[in-house]
Amino acid sequence: MPFEVKLKDRIAKVEMLSRQGNKLLVALDGKEFDLDFVKVSEGSYSVIYQNRSFNLELIPVNGVKKYLVNTKKSTFEVEIIDSEAKYLASRKKGTDDDGDSVIAAPIPGKVVKVFVEKGEKVEAGQTVIIISAMKMESEFKAKKAGKVADIKIFEGQTVEARQPLVVIDYDVSE
């Protein structure tokens, strides 16, 4: 499955095409590379490419999939952007909204349970909907007290990424 790697301001698409033991065939932005890749110890790797050896040390940095990569000549920060990282980032977006707030599916999934009805008042932290995606169930909660303005889905429905699910009006003064 392809994923993206962020290095400084550049984002590259990476895909593992095949693996046989330590031999990897990897595509980087569509260009193929034959690598001999060996884990030497926890966080240390040896990579051979075109008969040249490279030693890498990966040190986890604050963040879901961020690493400080040390080579013999340089150090740089790398971020792996796969479906899990995108999902977690989408859950954090928009948490400081005021006014109408749309709860949207971060990735494709299935609506397991809808706990509210249109016009119903909700409390801060109240579970509004549960979505099943990637073999996980995720609860989506009201950020603060408000009123359900619209429900755009139904239980059992399959939803697409970024599809609006529930709209909550947080500017209700009743």
C-alpha 109, offset from chain centre = 14
* 60 is a domain residue: yes
Q: How many angstroms separate the Cα of 112 from the Cα of each of 3, 75, 133, 137, 157? A: 28, 45, 10, 8, 8
Encode pLDDT of 96-145 as tens digits.
444 458 888 877 889 999 999 999 999 988 999 999 987 788 888 888 89
* 134 is a domain residue: yes
Question: Are 66 and 11 in a shared domain?
Answer: yes
Q: How many angstroms separate the Cα of 18 from the Cα of each of 2, 32, 33, 34? A: 12, 11, 11, 10
Of 59, 81, 103, which residue is a domain's last? 81
Question: Are 59 and 108 in a shared domain?
Answer: no
8 Å CB contact between 65 and 82 = yes
* 89 is a domain residue: no
* 86 is a domain residue: no
Question: Are 108 and 53 in a shared domain?
Answer: no
Q: How far apart are CA 8 and CA 78, in angstroms?
A: 8
* 88 is a domain residue: no
Question: Are 77 and 100 in a shared domain?
Answer: no
According to the model, what pLDDT value does residue 142 have?
Answer: 87
Q: How confident is the model at residue 54 (pLDDT cuts 50, 70, 90)?
A: very high
* 90 is a domain residue: no
Domain that residue 66 falls in: 3-81
* 161 is a domain residue: yes
Question: Are 73 and 118 in a shared domain?
Answer: no
C-alpha 34, offset from chain centre = 28
Average pLDDT for 43-69:
87
Of 48, 81, 114, which residue is a domain's last? 81
* 54 is a domain residue: yes
Q: What is the CATH number of the domain that holds 142?
A: 2.40.50.100
Question: Are 73 and 132 in a shared domain?
Answer: no
Q: What is the CATH number of the domain that holds 42?
A: 3.30.700.30
Question: Are 72 and 104 in a shared domain?
Answer: no
Q: What is the arrangement of strands in the sheet containing 136-141, beginning at the earlier edge strand?
A: 136-141, 127-133, 109-114, 158-159
According to the model, what pLDDT value does residue 173 have?
Answer: 55
Residue 93 clears pLDDT 60, i.e. is over it: no
Average pLDDT for 141-169:
90
According to the model, what pLDDT value does residue 15 have?
Answer: 93
Question: Are 76 and 140 in a shared domain?
Answer: no
Which pTM value belongs to this model?
0.48
Q: What is the widest separation between alpha-carbon atoms in the chain? A: 72
Give me the number of domains the chain comprises: 2
Indicate the SS3 state at residue 1: coil
8 Å CB contact between 57 and 44 = yes
Residue 7 clears pLDDT 80, i.e. is over it: yes
